[in-house]
Amino acid sequence: MSIRTLTVLVTLLVGTCAFAHAQTKPMSIEVFPFELEDKSAGAGIIPPDEHDRRYLSELAQVAKDMLSQSGRFTVVDAPATDEQAVAPHGLRNCGGCES
């Protein structure tokens, strides 16, 4: 096999892979607000303050941005009813609202 033939085959293979990757439709993904559960000995003594809530909110936005910029995902907003169902008891204990 000559170098020219090998070069053509490699070029076709790389071009085909790039074309196939470009044709895949990004998956839809929903990012819920982040939660932290403090299991330390001081938990409950110092309640979460506005800084904690702001940092978690910023972290969720960074995660959404990174997922969107990857090109593999389309971030969809959670319907208000989903967020209201989660709010009183957290995402871990929402009775299946995460599905």
Number of domains in the chain: 1
- Asked if residue 14 belongs to a domain, the reply is no
Give per-residue pLDDT as tens, 8-34: 556 666 666 555 555 578 888 888 777
Picking from 57, 11, 20, 64, the residue whose alpha carbon sits closest to that of residue 36 is 57
**Which residue, chain included where needed, has tokens 């044709």?**
23
Residues counted in the chain: 99
Long-range CB contacts (within 8 A, 24+) of 59-64: 59/34, 60/31, 60/32, 60/33, 60/34, 63/31, 63/34, 64/31
- Asked if residue 16 belongs to a domain, the reply is no
- Asked if residue 13 belongs to a domain, the reply is no
Domain with 53 in it: 27-93
Give per-residue pLDDT as tens, 47-67: 778 888 898 889 889 999 999
- What is the pTM (predicted TM-score) of this model? 0.57
